[in-house]
Amino acid sequence: MTFTRYAIYFAPPADADWTKFATNWLGWDMETGSEAAHPVIDGIDVASVTETPRKYGLHATMKPPFRLYQGRSVTQLQDACAQLAASYAPISLDGLEIARLGRFLALRPHGNTGQLGELAAACVRDLDRFRAPATEDELARRRAAGLSMEQDANLTNWGYPYVLDSFRFHITLSGKLDKPTLSSVQATLETHLGPLLPTPFRINDLALTGEADDGRFHLIHRYALSG
């Protein structure tokens, strides 16, 4: 399979109960590259709630999606991912919580996120030689949302505003929702997903993923953190 863009994600372990529920919740399993059946929950249109994040699969972004730089190969990218992962140890945090980020819902970590921030920064910096520069249209679209000076500098330097000091680890669970829907969906997730969330929450690997022609992201390979 060929891909139009690549990204470095944290992809939750496929065999965990919380991963299985959240993958079905989103409706796309990037590990198997197949649709996942939404849970049927009274009063919640799960397909509508999750339409925007579905194509990315269940993940937290470590290096945002990018086109491959001309002259670089996927094999070289894979080798670099393996080298990076071998330089960092697994990360353990206290747990995960269902949180509001503006008008959407996500899983956010409990505990000291310093090591996690360092790992994400390394993904951004160390793999940037594989990223083709953002187009003028892409830059303009990002700037139209309104960026701080720091975020604009990140966009210029790294192709995405919310990296380095602006990075916030999160696993997206919904698109933007109105307030009543936000409240009801959060309550639903607290009931069905909350009891499954891991304590502690561990990050044991990085995932190289690719965006297919249909816009869906697929897992290419996991690289164990072994430093």
Mean pLDDT, the chain, rounded, equals 97
| Residue 83 forms part of a structural domain | yes
Instruction: Please tell me the predicted confidence (pLDDT) of residue 191.
Output: 97
Q: In the predicted model, is pLDDT for residue 145 greater than 90?
A: no
Instruction: Please tell me the predicted confidence (pLDDT) of residue 227.
Output: 86
| Residue 166 forms part of a structural domain | no
Q: By the 8 A CB rule, do 10 and 207 touch?
A: yes
Q: In the predicted model, is pLDDT for residue 219 greater than 90?
A: yes
| Residue 142 forms part of a structural domain | no
Q: What percent of the chain has pLDDT over 90?
A: 98
| Residue 162 forms part of a structural domain | no
| Residue 130 forms part of a structural domain | no
Give residue 38's pLDDT band: very low, low, confident or very high (50, 70, 90).
Answer: very high
Domain that holds residue 31: 5-112+171-224
The CATH number for 188's domain is: 3.90.1140.10
Instruction: Please tell me the predicted confidence (pLDDT) of residue 35.
Output: 97
Q: What is the mean pLDDT of residues 148-166?
A: 95
| Residue 36 forms part of a structural domain | yes
Instruction: Please tell me the predicted confidence (pLDDT) of residue 180.
Output: 93
Between these two residues, 24 and 145, which has the higher pLDDT value? 24
Q: How confident is the model over 55-89, as pLDDT tens digits?
A: 999 999 999 999 999 999 999 999 999 999 999 99
Total domains, the chain: 1
Instruction: Please tell me the predicted confidence (pLDDT) of residue 112.
Output: 93
Q: In the predicted model, is pLDDT for residue 1 greater than 90?
A: no
| Residue 72 forms part of a structural domain | yes
Q: How confident is the model over 102-144, as pLDDT tens digits?
A: 999 999 999 999 999 999 999 999 999 999 999 999 999 999 9
